[in-house]
Structure 1
Amino acid sequence: MAIDAGNTRRTARRINVGPNPRVFRDSLSSSDRDDFFRFVVRARSSFDGEVFNIPRNSNFNFQLQNANGRVIARSTRPGNQPENINLNLDPGTYFARVFWRRGQGAYRMRLSLNPDTAGETLDTARDLGNLTSSTGVDEYIGRSDPADIYRFTIDERLTVGATLTPFSAGAEISLLDASGNVLTGTSGSGTEARSLQRVLDPGTYFVRTTPVPGGNTRYNLTLNAGPAPDQGGNDFGSASAFPGFGFFPASVQEYVGNSDPVDYYTFTTTIGGDLKIDLTNIAPTADLNITLFDQFQQILAFQGGAGPGGNEQIIFNNAAPGQYFVLVQTAGPGNNSTYRLTAVLTPEDKFGDTFADATSITDPLSTSPAGLAPLSNDLDNPSIYQDFVGAGDVDVFRFTLTEPKNFFATRLKDFTGNITLQLFQAGNPTPLSGGGSALRGALGPGTYFLRVLAGGPTDASTYTLEAAFGERESGIIVRDVNPGALDANANFLTDVNGVLFFAGTDGTPGAPVGLWRSEGTLNTTVKVGSFTNITGIANVNGTVYIAGSTTQTGVELWKWQPTGGSLGTLSLVGDIAPGPGLSSSPTNLTAAGNNLFFLATPTGNPVGRQLYFSNGGAPVAIANAGDSIQNLVYVQATDTLYYVANRTGVGTRLLFRINNASTANPSDPVLLENIGSPSFSPRFVDSLKVVGGDLFFVASEAVNTENRELRRIAANGTVFTYDVDGDLNQASIASGNLSLAVVESGGNRYVYFSASFEDPVEGLVPSLTRVNLTNGTAERVSTNVSGTFTANNLTVFEGKVYFTATTSAVGTELWVTDPAGALEVTALDNLVPGADSSSPANLVVAGGTLYFTAETNATGRELYRLDSNGLPELALDINPGPTSSNLNNLIAAGNLSAGLGQLFFVADDGVNGREVWTV
């Protein structure tokens, strides 16, 4: 509305201001510099005033004065920006003054007064009294009144809810405790209603309302109270299950009082032990009691009388397995209080907790509890031990074995949570094996400790332990290097003077790959070195050389020696490519007496590898060794190292020789040209094989690169060529890795291999061929098989040659030929009869037995052997049933010259991941 305001306080325009904003219009100029408006506040109210629509290039300011003319608020923003005053006013007379600074023109002024019945602090909060049902208020919050606070009390434990409904702008609500700490609150946007709910114990509380920033609104606040949820039952029949009861303290927080004087709880134990029940967190003015009952509701223990605020405790020892009840109740009317009820069962501890007090389970049994069964020596009928671990309790068993080799098997049953087994040998604090719920493997004589423990600080359980030892002919895992179902990915299995060395992942942070040595038992399988990776292992007269990487060196050459303690000594031979970011990546590690020959790159670039040797000291690069070197082999009888390499201007895949290879000063490499009589210059050489003092290889001649034939350099230096097809102008042998075997029979030495033989009927046919090394005669062996017949995996066993081959009639199977018999081959096709294949591979002789891998529908790919009749039979089904254990890396370690030695291999039993096994 348009008015003419007075220019002084005396002539001020009298106006009425209320909750609904009123807008007034007037103008100012250099000749009319002041407008005064007079209004009366009759109850404490929130004042909101704004001067707006000030003309451009003008500046009008805003003041609020009390009845005495004292300025109590002002707004002096620059230019024509709106002016605002927001504050709470007590009852009285006030003047709104709009005054000129610059310019001229009309303006508008908006004023409102909202009575403020709620306080703004905890001390001035509006008291809503004792909240028993529902109550509500209508109020205002905004820039002049940024918070309203209300106080209420409750005498019982109740569920309290609050709903805030704003009318014109967003607002939030918070619930505070007696000290002003926020218990819960709302947040959001818009003008929708806000609600919260909370279970509250008896006491004083506050509700606070606040506007969104810059907002002004009237609102309605409604509070209501109702019964609180009751976790405790009201009698035995409705008793609540005690939440989380067990071997760790479990608690429940609840309330008893006039409206709910009793709470019943129940729990069940499956094992005997000591019960401890605590009643705490009681109000200082309340007296509560607790009672323990058995399953027949008979009182076992009562505790009360501690007085107001006093804690109560029941300790009941030797509690038998069964159901129990706990009653929490007030000592009488008026004892209203929240409480915390805590209960825990500590089971009986039957067995020792440390190595020092371990419970013996082998003779003598003087330290064993009465009636404890000694460790069974029958694997099919293990001994059984039952107890509890967790909450700080572990169980340790001691047993002693006296036989040279014992198969030990143990497992945990009937447990919950994360419970684990560990096996130790006396004097060694590092576990031999552990991390799962079952252990099995071979053990040598000695004293051992079996420890059962919880996997984490919050794990606990009863358990049943089965354990036994005895003889076992089937395969055994040498050690679960990467415990549980994780793969060790064992590789580079190497015989080191009868002891197996291998690389295996155990997951150690920073150095996850270990160098391991094993004699086939758990207690002899130990880690002797740690690397980030291992790419090769070689034995040089008991010194183990390793191509291994660390974070400091990259992949370089290391050596392990059996000196300096039980774990030996590991040292860096040489950092050929210095720096952590570079690797010389040694490969083709080849022993020659006490020397090691290998390939490496000093620049870290795999292209351009050089030939090196080391006799234990810093590696020495060998000059003029050629390019693209490969296929290093050593002939001990002549102390000669042979290899294949290229030489610019001469040719590719040439044959080189280093004499005196085992000495401290090996000779310079020699390119073999014009060797033998007639002279022969090898080209496109591959398949270097050493048998005794002979070097066999496949090569063509410089003058005829199509003539690929089997060649031999004898220990006396004589060079032989075996052209089995009778035509020196065509190849007998295709390019690739040739398999061959040398066997003695009837006073002759024969070499067996696959080559294209000129058959008078069938023509040039790939066949199993043999050459009599005594007179050079070549003969086709597989005369009784038509068509292509290529033999692989040739292996000599008990004077016969066994191999794998494929035909349409029998598929891929194991075959045999007898040098003392006819020139024929025999298929051993009993595993998968007919044209289907068992696909044998990995032929190895160990312990006087020929082993190999094969696959059938019944077993998957598993370990097989020849039986006493010379027929294939299943030796071991590592992963029982049709699932394959995928055996590979078969190796015999030990007295190999006599066909003996212990068989090792890598397999996955479906439980322990890929690990090393032995038979």
Structure 2
Amino acid sequence: MSISNKDNTLRGARNLGRLGTRRINGYVGSRDRIDFAKFTLGEVRELSLSIGRIANRASSARITLRDARGAIIRSFNTGRRNITFRDDFGPGTYFIGIQQIKGEVNYKITAAARPTEPGERLDTARDLGVLTGTSIVSEAVGTTDPSDIYKFTINDVGNLQARVNSISAGSRVELIRDLNNNGLIDSGEVIASEVDSFAPFQPSIVTDLPQGTYYVRVSPSNPSNSTQYELTLVNTPFGGSPPPDPGNILATARNLGAVAGTVTAREYVGVLDGLDAYRFTLNDLSNIQVSVQATSTNTQIQLVRDVNGNGLIDNGEVIVSETNFSSTNLSRFTQDLPAGTYFITVASRNASASTLYELNLVATPFGGNGQPDPGNLLSSARNLGPVAGTVNVKEYVGVIDGLDAYRFTLNDISNVQINVQATSTNTEIQLVRDINGNGLIDNGEVIASDTNFSSTNLSQITRDLPVGTYFITVASRTASASTLYQMSLVATPFGGNGQPDPGSTIPTARNIGVLSNTFLAKEHVSVNVDPSDFYQFTLNSTANLQARVQGTSGNTIIELIRDSNGNGLVDSGELIRSDTNFGSSYLSSFIQNGLAAGTYFFRVTPRPGVATNYTVDFALV
């Protein structure tokens, strides 16, 4: 037998590689006092060493098993009988040392590593490592070995199939998760269990699981029976989202960040994880579509806004929820939303059922103007400033924000058109003048309103208005519905002369002085904003008077008055002439001949329900 001193140290040890079964033959004695061999274990294995007997009584050697640092784990002395050692060891590097004690020793050692015997406790379970596909093991359970426990890990949410094919008797298979990591199988830690006491003895479990470490226990269905069996574990990864798992409260929700497109998450919810919470932010008014496609059971999904920021879902903070009861396992909703931070929660509809799911969140920005949300009171209305053209606004109104208020000013008599085009539901719009300036919408202060009941979702108001400050309010027609909308405000100035509005009484009439030729003015009258205009003029001699009022949006009543008693009122007998047009021309006019010298008043009032701008002219003819 050749003799080598190269393996006399740990550094020069004969390398056996990853140990399966190897025979180590060699010599130690006066010419080579010590040999070392090195091997590795990739996972927990049952290691056995068989040391052949030494026939010569005058010869003996010491056999040692050492760890990676060279520390002795076990030690044996050879003798005239075979020595067998067997124990479980974890992954790592090990050394076998053979050292002469006396004489010349020709040694024969068999080293073998095999899977450990499945234990009956979690801490002695046979570790199958990371399960990425299919793992098959064959063992036996019965009266002398009442149960076998296997440990495995899955690194992705997935579907697990655990099937036992028993040979001669029924068996039970149980899926376990040591939730508190105490090494014991406590109440509630058996996730699923199946037993088959009748041929062909094939109990199986199929369930969806999150990432983690699990155990499978196999035992006979009757403790007095024994059987060989084959255990097949099949893990089908779902391609889940990277860890960590979404939290189950708002405070620990997975943050999806600012969303303006599509975000997808693939996760698990069910027995082991009752709820998943996601947080996302919208930096613009948006329409969102949320769909959850489950694989095994229906889900309940909710859209939440934590209004008070306390991390809890309080009464009134669930904007919308959806639970699917059909076989499609698809839950979904569509909602218009203002900018802000929101949460989505996903739960299994049945607390005792588990499922994998894919969440799709699609946010489509509406292109808002980026200003702070319009207030919901006149006092906090968004100020659009003086308007003499077109102003466009994109906003949201609905469950979260029940009313939007806008303020604008007209520096000239104008025709105003208000269009509100909603995306998802009809709106109710109002044109308001806060006559008493108290910041409230009091009786008689709503000039016009419109509510659309059709599928066009378009509400419109067209109105002639005098100079002044006004408000527009926009609300969803249904308090439980939300919508994005675009409001277009178009103000077309009428070209008034910029003078103060004619008064609505004789004492406050606009005095145009001595009428010697033609007087022309553009003004406005309406029932609830400016109910009448008075003009005062003087004739220095008898004359023929022509008066005309051309309305733009409706008919007017015109009257020629002389306040004979000077009391500032229109008394009986003081009305000289009047005219009212009932046609579509909106022109009221008359000619009064032989009007004596003196002071007169001309009054313009709208017909009932009319608001109109108008052009008035007096001429001597």
What TM-score, normalized to structure 1? Answer: 0.25
What TM-score, normalized to structure 2? Answer: 0.35
